[in-house]
Every structure is written in structure tokens, then in C-alpha cells.
Amino acid sequence: MERPSRIVAPTALILALVLLGVRWWARPAPPPAIGRPFPPFALAALPGTPPLTDATLRAGHPTLVNFFASWCVPCRAEASTLAALRRRGVAVAGIAVRDTPADAAAFLAATGTRFIATGLDPRGRVQAALASDGIPETWLVDGRGDVRARYRGVVTPDAVSDITAAAERLR
């Protein structure tokens, strides 16, 4: 009679662990920000740049909001693409995530990146409010402050026409 109890306890433990694992994997993803207002925020401005606040995103024109950091190697790769979008008339704002003002300023100078406004998000709070999971990441926000698109990872030259067209449709 002892034999079944030796099997039941480990089997129950394994079953419980499997059920917990299934429940963890099946947990719902955070709600998408698309179609919702960009979260309210007021960030310190990067010295020498205009400040970036949620009011900037409700100024009546579409804006791309790019999350970047000086320590992010892929962020350097997309700098020329962001410049191409700017040349096509797309407003591009930047949020430096988990970075220092000096390092962020040096990054912008080294890459030649120019934003209409730049905010510092040293703890990643704005990024977390969007359920963003990495950088670089870029969000298209309409002139009322609502999120219309999310571009995860590096914005490549292939995306310039599509992003420009999407921004034009929102004007």
C-alpha cells in the first residue's frame, strides 16, 4: 500500500507545477496602446532642446515619438532614417530612456539626430505606461494625442514611405 503514495505525491507536485506553468504562459498580454491616448507625462527636457510633454502630442499635428538611449546600439542605426522622416515633414520627438542627460546629448550630437522636442525618462516610466518592452521603439501619435501605430525595433529606410503616408493621413 505504500507504493501508490510514493507515486501520488510526486505526481501531484509535477501536475501542480505544469498547471502553474500553463497559467503563466497563458496570461493575457498587456492591453495594446493603439487607439488610446498616449499616457500623460511631463519629462525634464534634455538641456538645449525644447521640452517634451503630453501637450506636445496634442498640438494638432501627427508626431512620431522615438524611445532611444545612448547605450542602445540599434538606436544609432536608425538615426539616418529618423532624419529622412524629418526631411519628409514628419515631426519626430525623442524620449531618452534610462540615460543621463550628458550621455543622451552626446548621442544626439554624435548621430546628428534632431528632435522637435526631447524628454528624459530616467526610470522608463513613460515607456512602461505604454507596455513597451524595449528600445528602440517608435510610436505614431495623431494630433489629438492618440496612439495610432507602434514600430518595434529599428525603423528602417524601407519604412519611411509607409510612415510618411500614415502621418499624412492623420493630418
DSSP string, 106-162: HHHHHHT---S-EEEETT-HHHHHTT--SSSEEEEE-TTSBEEEEEES---GGGHHH
Domain containing 114 equals: 44-169
Instruction: Give the residue with greater pLDDT, 102 vs 2.
Output: 102
Q: pLDDT tens for residues 77-136?
A: 999 999 999 999 999 999 999 999 999 999 999 999 999 999 999 999 999 999 888 899
pTM over 0.85: no
Q: What are phi and psi of 129, to 5 degrees?
A: -65, -25
Output the average pLDDT for the chain: 88
- How many other CB atoms are found less than 10 A from the CB of residue 140? 20
Contact predicate 90/64, CB 8 Å: yes
Instruction: Say if residue 151's pLDDT is above 70.
Output: yes
Range in 1-5, 9-13, 68-72, 75-79 the model is least confident about: 1-5
Please report whether residue 31 resides in a domain: no
Please report whether residue 133 resides in a domain: yes
Task: Give the pLDDT mean for 50-54.
Answer: 91
Strand ranges in 63-102 using DSSP code E only, listed in sequence order: 63-68, 91-97
Please report whether residue 2 resides in a domain: no
CA distance readout (Å), 99 to 64, 107, 134: 20, 10, 14
**What is the predicted pLDDT for the residue at 33?**
84
| Percentage above 90 pLDDT, the chain | 74
Strand (E) or helix (H) holding 45: strand 44-45
Instruction: Say if residue 23's pLDDT is above 60.
Output: no
Please report whether residue 11 resides in a domain: no
Instruction: Say if residue 21's pLDDT is above 90.
Output: no
- What CATH number should be reported for the domain holding residue 49? 3.40.30.10
